[in-house]
Amino acid sequence: MTAVIIGLWSAAACAQDISAIRKMAESGDAAAQFEYGGYYEGRSDKARDHRRAVEWYSKAAEQGNALAQFNLGRMYLLGKGIEQDADLGVEWQLRAAEQGLAEAQYVVGKRYLFGGGVDKDSERALELIIASAEQGWADAQNQLGQIYFQGAAVAKDVVRSYMWFSIAEQNGDSTGQRFIAVLEEVMDKAQVEQAQTLVREWQEAHAAGQP
């Protein structure tokens, strides 16, 4: 899903000349700095320049731009355009997660769940992944289905597992289809109906919050 974030610059670039974005970035506009970093990272020709991408992501990240913080963290983790540094990579992505960026919450939540740059912390992992799922991030919704299915970080709960797999599927992530099939084999009719009710309630609650 990271490519979505990298590609955000292109929509703006279509709306206004990239030189205008550069001028805004040079004037200190954090959103433009993020877009300009994405311009350098996202190009497929000789103009691609990971070092320049890191430079502009860094400027935006220091100003608190969550998208830039997430991308800067990824650049550190991969060693793209800068010396690889897992600690700084995780630190920047954690900053983005703490600002409420859904993808960062999911990615960092998985790190707390499985380990990787941070000590395992099931409670913190669940908190972050739920926060991401509640924002509609399908990967996080699917992950919650697996967590409740396996009883990882929480007590096993087939109803909650079915609920989250179903929400993820309706959100475009069909990864949980096979889990749903397995769950339907072990759940009774009342449990399936309860899960379906929870799905409808979740959808109604989140639809109500849409403009």
Q: Is residue 68 part of a domain?
A: yes
**Domain around 7:** 1-92
Q: Which band of pLDDT confidence, cut at 50, 70 and 90, is reported for residue 46?
A: confident
Residue 57 lies in a domain: yes
Handedness of CA 72, 73, 76, 77 (dihedral sign): negative
| Tally of domains within the chain | 1
Question: Is the residue at 62 inside a domain?
Answer: yes
Q: Could you read off the pLDDT of 103-113 as tens digits, one per residue?
A: 999 999 999 99
The CATH number of the domain where 58 resides is what? 1.25.40.10
Q: Is 19 inside a domain boundary?
A: yes
Tell me, yes or no, whether 107 lies in a domain: no
Query: Distance between CA atoms of 162 and 1, rounded to whole angstroms?
Result: 24
pLDDT digits (tens, 9 = 90+) for 13-22: 454 578 899 9
pLDDT of residue 13: 46
CB of 60 closer than 8 Å to CB of 27: no
Give the pLDDT score at 16.
55
Quote the pLDDT of residue 209: 59
Does residue 103 lie within any of the structural domains?
no
Percent of the chain with pLDDT over 90: 82
- Does any domain span residue 196? no
**pTM of the complete model:** 0.88
What does the pLDDT read at residue 210?
61
Q: Calculate what percentage of the chain has a pLDDT beyond 70.
A: 91
**Residue 207 falls inside a structural domain:** no
Q: Give the model's pLDDT for residue 43.
A: 81
